[in-house]
Structure 1
Amino acid sequence: MADAIDSLTKLQASSEDYDVLYQDDIVLVVNKPAKLLTVPGRHPDNHDCLISRVQREFLTASIVHRLDYDTSGIVIIPLTKRALSDISKQFQARTVQKHYIALVAGLVKANSQQIDLALAADMANRPCYKVCQLEGKPSTTDVKVLSRDSTKQQTRLQLSPITGRSHQLRVHMQAIGHPIVGDTLYAPDAVAAASSRLLLHAEQIQFLHPLTAQVLTITAPAAF
């Protein structure tokens, strides 16, 4: 999921720092806090971001994929050009497996389902995206119910994006009538105000180590 926030908007960077989940000579895996850009925005006050913080300690660190400003969770950070190239090819081939945890409004009926709705930029409401079967790019998400809270009328989901479109999980959840709690872009006011942050977290990622080809499975449980 790439940063799709308007890069000219001033954003408050979280004071919470990233956590290192895995580290060796060529690759780093970290847990990004919510409300922190992955890379610098064009606004002069948006230079504080994940990669700028990581590069203070790891000078050769680079970005191969991103999480939205509002989303917390796992980010792979290559430390060499070889690692960057190799992991980039894995993402392009869609062999990197990942899933997110989300808390959504309402009780999702199906225990599992696949959402296949094409997405396009909503030019009238930037930086939002919308479902558009005519001009949108193919976008697929696997959905699994983890638990339902009938008192709060909320459902905890495991979301596995097959594709990696901007705001894919947020728009897909809105499209099926279950927006993510704390989503100020896509949820109704009451749902957006129910949390001080977007309740979406990249919990697990699996990829091949660029040097050894060993399968690495990294997990960072959601804080909500």
Structure 2
Amino acid sequence: MHPIPILPAWLLELVRDVINKQSTYTNPLAKKGFVVYRSEEDMNIKATPLLRILGFCKAHNDGRLTAILHDASHKVLVCFSRESLIKYENKHLERLTYMSINSILLIKEANLRFITITQLPQLFGSVPGLKLKPGLGILVLEVTIVDSFTKQQLRVPPKDDDAVPFLYSDPEYLELCMEEGDVLGLEASRRYLCGDMVSDEEELGT
């Protein structure tokens, strides 16, 4: 567990709640509305969805920003939508990236999305310490509304940050997201597995 006491451990539990091991996820959007937080009395998860910023990865031409964040137990790959960044900047009159490393964010709305091995370096570049087993589905947090929980940069010894594992190495995640068997030869499935575009609305069979 990470030593910062205000961080709850919620990522893995919520993934467990929404990912069905028996399903084949040919649509990359695994869960729309994975996180919905309006207040402490109105949210779809058991703990306040707080994540601490460890580092930013890549800013993209379409306005998206990728990063590595963590809860008390796991690191996760995060993609902030252009709209989420604009809303944040309009409210706080500064960029999300301004002196925010080690600060804590409140994730108000986010989707859960699978990306392919091909898309990983395109979206995130080189991610230190990330090791993935072949055939593992990579879930990223796609943030659509975000706010600052504390702007204070909460620093800890680097060894404490390094000791937090990525979600993708947890045995429970591996159990849920490791591909098993063959995917039927549907054209959209083939395109998805090869890293090509499949729309969120595309139906890929049952």
The structure whose residues are more often helix, as a share, is 2
Report the TM range for the smaller structure's normalisation: under 0.3
